[in-house]
Amino acid sequence: MTLITKARRRRMDDLLGRAEIKATTVMAAAGDRVIADLARV
């Protein structure tokens, strides 16, 4: 898992595409449940 800011997402998508790596992304903001769920792991 990697946390990427919204501003850096395009660059990361480009790099992953060049490396032919498929990654699942989940958009989240402060206070979203997904953040709390990750904190418990």
Q: What is the pLDDT of residue 28?
A: 87
CA 26 → CA 22, 29, 33, 34, 38, distances in Å?
13, 10, 12, 9, 12
Residue 19 carries which DSSP code? T
Q: What pLDDT is attached to residue 13?
A: 92
pLDDT, residue 26, reads: 86
pLDDT tens digits, 1-41: 788 888 899 999 999 999 999 998 888 888 889 888 888 87
CA 41 to chain centre: 17
Whether the predicted model's global pTM rises above the 0.75 cut: no
Residue 17 is predicted with a pLDDT of: 95
Domain map (residue ranges) of the chain = 6-40
